[in-house]
């Protein structure tokens, strides 16, 4: 049986926000990082909510469970009696909830869905989708029960860097266009939360040229729009190579012979070429790392997991995240 949710302290002093928005270029592992962060922040008897909004069911695949419904449900336990819940936000379901909450159109809203009006509305107005998605995240972040917050932290597996500025800023645009009514009020509330110290937008990258460039562009855009940038998370970081000059072919051949390994010309030449490629690659990584450091945001590096990201791997990443300075 899971321990009762008793924590009233921030989820982690190194991650002081309550809403953690995790973005990154596709292929950088942002979903894995978001899941690991939710696990890490839930340790010690806390409760976190891990949310996805893109309809990919990436969280379910990562944890090896069935597709997540539009319903907050237990996903996994965390060390020390903590709990991670998960929610896959669906724009249509969120619109129905919105219509019922503000306009008391529960049955009528379901009838509109049968007629296809709900799908029509969210398809022709993609901005409306983002308003509904971010609105649901805001509601979960702010929700209380018995004069305490339901979740110590909410972690959002957000759209990728190429779309993150537009996704987060759509509520501000809607609040500006809507003059009165619930839509304006809700949009203003979401826009205020996303720009407050309660929120931090973390950007996941690899030490590769395209992901780093997208990270630089995304942080510039987020900063210009007034969103609080949190950490840059370098995923899949490899240990540093030993210092010193590159080993020559003669030295490499002697080392192979001493180890009782094949040391023919083709083997030595192939290994030497691979070693040179590794040195060049690591020099590029150091250059890219320096570019990220220059941004001034906290930089957190997560280890490369040779066996891939399974539950044990998520625990490794979670520990590395919460231990970050």
Helices 182-194 and 91-103, axial angle in degrees (round to 10): 120
What domains are defined for the chain?
19-239+296-322 (3.40.50.300)
Q: What is the mean pLDDT of residues 142-171?
A: 92
Q: Which of 44-48, 103-107, 300-304 has the lowest mean pLDDT?
A: 103-107
Q: What is the mean pLDDT of residues 294-305?
A: 95
Q: What is the mean pLDDT of residues 246-264?
A: 83
d(CA 168, CA 145): 27
pLDDT for 284 equals 86
pLDDT band at 323 (very low <50, low <70, confident <90, very high): confident
d(CA 271, CA 290): 29
> Tens digit of pLDDT for each residue in 64-81?
999 998 899 999 999 899
Q: Are 80 and 43 in contact (CB under 8 A)?
A: yes
Residue partners of 187: CB distance under 8 A and separation at least 6: 131, 135, 171, 172, 174, 175, 178
Long-range contacts, 219-227 (Cβ 8 Å, 24+): 219/295, 219/297, 221/164, 221/165, 222/164, 222/165, 222/168, 225/165, 225/168, 225/169, 226/195, 227/165, 227/168, 227/169, 227/194, 227/195, 227/199, 227/201
Where is mean pLDDT largest: 107-116, 182-191, 219-228, 315-324?
219-228
pLDDT band at 246 (very low <50, low <70, confident <90, very high): low
Residue partners of 54: CB distance under 8 A and separation at least 6: 157, 159
Q: What is the largest CA-CA distance in the chain?
A: 81
Tokens matching residue 148: 């305490």
Sign of the C-alpha dihedral, residues 87, 33, 139, 167?
A: negative
Give phi and psi for 7, each to the nearest 5.
-70, 140
Helix (H) or strand (E) holding 86: strand 82-88
> In a 3-state reduction of DSSP, which class is residue 219?
helix
d(CA 224, CA 296): 15
Report strand pairing: 199-205 vs 82-88: unpaired
If 0-12 CB within 10 Å is exposed, 13-18 middle and 19+ buried, where does residue 64 land?
A: exposed
> Tens digit of pLDDT for each residue in 167-177?
898 776 665 55
Q: What is the CA radius of gyration of the chain?
A: 23
d(CA 156, CA 116): 29
Q: Which of 50-64, 141-155, 218-232, 235-249 has the lowest mean pLDDT?
A: 235-249
Tokens matching residue 90: 């669906």
> Tens digit of pLDDT for each residue in 177-235?
555 456 666 778 888 999 999 999 999 999 999 999 999 999 999 999 999 999 999 99
């Amino acid at each position: 049986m899971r321990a009762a949710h008793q924590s009233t302290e921030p989820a982690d002093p190194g991650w002081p926000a309550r809403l953690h928005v995790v973005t990154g270029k596709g292929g950088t592992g942002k979903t894995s990082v978001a899941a690991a962060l939710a696990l890490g922040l839930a340790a010690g008897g806390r409760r976190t909510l891990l949310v996805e909004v893109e309809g990919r069911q990436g969280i379910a695949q990562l944890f090896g469970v069935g597709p997540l419904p539009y319903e907050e449900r237990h996903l996994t336990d965390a060390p020390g009696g903590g709990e991670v819940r998960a929610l896959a936000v669906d724009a249509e379901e969120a619109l129905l909830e919105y219509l019922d909450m503000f306009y008391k159109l529960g049955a009528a809203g379901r009838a509109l869905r049968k007629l296809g009006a709900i799908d029509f509305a969210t398809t022709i107005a993609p901005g409306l989708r983002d308003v509904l998605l971010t609105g649901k995240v805001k509601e979960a972040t702010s929700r209380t029960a018995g004069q305490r917050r339901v979740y110590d932290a909410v972690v959002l597996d957000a759209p990728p860097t190429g779309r993150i500025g537009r996704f987060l800023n759509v509520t501000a645009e809607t609040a500006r266009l809507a003059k009165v009514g619930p839509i304006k009020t809700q949009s203003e509330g979401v826009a205020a939360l996303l720009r407050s110290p309660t929120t931090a937008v973390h950007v996941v990258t690899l030490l590769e040229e395209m992901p780093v460039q997208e990270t630089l562009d995304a942080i510039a855009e987020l900063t210009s729009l007034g969103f609080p940038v949190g950490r840059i998370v370098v995923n899949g970081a490899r240990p540093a190579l030993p210092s010193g000059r590159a080993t020559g072919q003669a030295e490499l051949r002697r080392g192979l012979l001493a180890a009782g390994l094949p040391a023919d010309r083709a083997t030595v030449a192939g290994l030497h070429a691979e070693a040179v490629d590794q040195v060049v690659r690591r020099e590029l990584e150091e250059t890219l790392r320096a570019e990220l450091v220059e941004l001034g945001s906290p930089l957190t590096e997560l280890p490369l997991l040779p066996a891939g990201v399974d539950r044990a791997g998520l625990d490794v990443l979670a520990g590395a995240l919460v231990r970050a300075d």
